[in-house]
Chains A and B, each alone.
Chain A
């Protein structure tokens, strides 16, 4: 049991890392990765929703009628997103403001619904949780990496502290919209180069 759980967990970290291999959850990935901090905050919020929704979907998988399963999944996901929204509003208000409408939009993140449909709806609870944790951590890593590249080049800082010398001219292009698309495109290219499909 521990072995199969470990397998489901690790596949989310490399073989099926959401952002780079499955190419799911692009919208928040492009929008909130201006800085590492925002990227990781968004990743953690999504991870929480993923784990909880995977668990509940898996527990209810024999009760939910197949015909209305998508609607049921959406209600389950929306409930947990509302929880995250309220918690973040209470404890991390600054981050909540920075991420804006992308917190409620976790509801329509295809990664969360995709995992519910493709994995949690067919597998027992412990595997579904392992899958949720793995995918969530993988997603957070992806957002953090993209955020790090964009913050480094675009603002010359990492987690708010400067990395290059005082003479560094920030490459503002990277924190704007086009830089997001190109940064992610080039990172995908890099992933294709180093890893096998």
Chain B
């Protein structure tokens, strides 16, 4: 039990997916201008990442490894993720319309979110067991949501500030992200 807790902490804070591993930076910068969209994107990522983590682990263990075709991993993972996103979208639209309305526009974007594919690959590379991959996928996704919401809050504040013209928009966004990454450095010694 303690092992899983340590794994979760290290995935959320120490090896934060955006700030330490540099995955999912495009949605991190793209959907963080408003708090609302940040929360929506964060939730959509948690949802998809956990499912993608489970399904790619099963694909790898029971399909690619027994057949000795691991070189097709990249191709099969992206197909699994793309069809999963499509499926989740259709399922939500039909059965949980409220959640669909909330996540709506963010779901299709997730296919090209490298955090999803990245975490699936990390899980395989680290040779995690099924439960470990589940915990890791969930914690990485929570870490992504946490970083996104923190960043969105700062960006809303920066909007009011008077930023020099050449630094505006993405430029100051990246510098701010650097500051958050610096503060996340404090977690380094925890695990």
**Residues of chain A having any CB pair with chain B under 8 Å:** 23-24, 26-28, 30-31, 70-71, 74-75, 78-79, 81-82, 85-86, 101, 104-105, 107-110, 113, 176-182, 184-186, 188-190, 192-193
Contact B117 A27 (CB under 8 A): no
10 contacts between A and B (CB under 8 A): A27-B26, A28-B22, A31-B23, A78-B79, A81-B74, A107-B78, A177-B20, A177-B22, A189-B171, A192-B167
Contact A26 B29 (CB under 8 A): yes
Contact B122 A101 (CB under 8 A): yes
Say if the beta carbon of B59 comes within 8 Å of chain A: no
In the bound complex, residues from chain B placing their C-beta under 8 Å from that of A182 are 174-175, 178-179
| Residue among A107, A108, A176, A181 making CB contact with B185, cutoff 8 Å | A176
CA distance A132 to B82 in the complex (A): 24
Interface centre among B21, B22, B71, B165 (most CB of A within 10 A): B22
Give chain B's interface residue range (CB within 8 Å of chain A).
35 or more
Say if the beta carbon of B53 comes within 8 Å of chain A: no
Contact A82 B166 (CB under 8 A): no
Say if the beta carbon of B95 comes within 8 Å of chain A: no
In the bound complex, residues from chain B placing their C-beta under 8 Å from that of A105 are 23, 114, 117-118, 121
CA distance A184 to B174 in the complex (A): 7
CA distance A24 to B82 in the complex (A): 20
| Residue among B74, B170, B173 making CB contact with A82, cutoff 8 Å | B74
Contact B170 A79 (CB under 8 A): no
Contact A108 B78 (CB under 8 A): yes
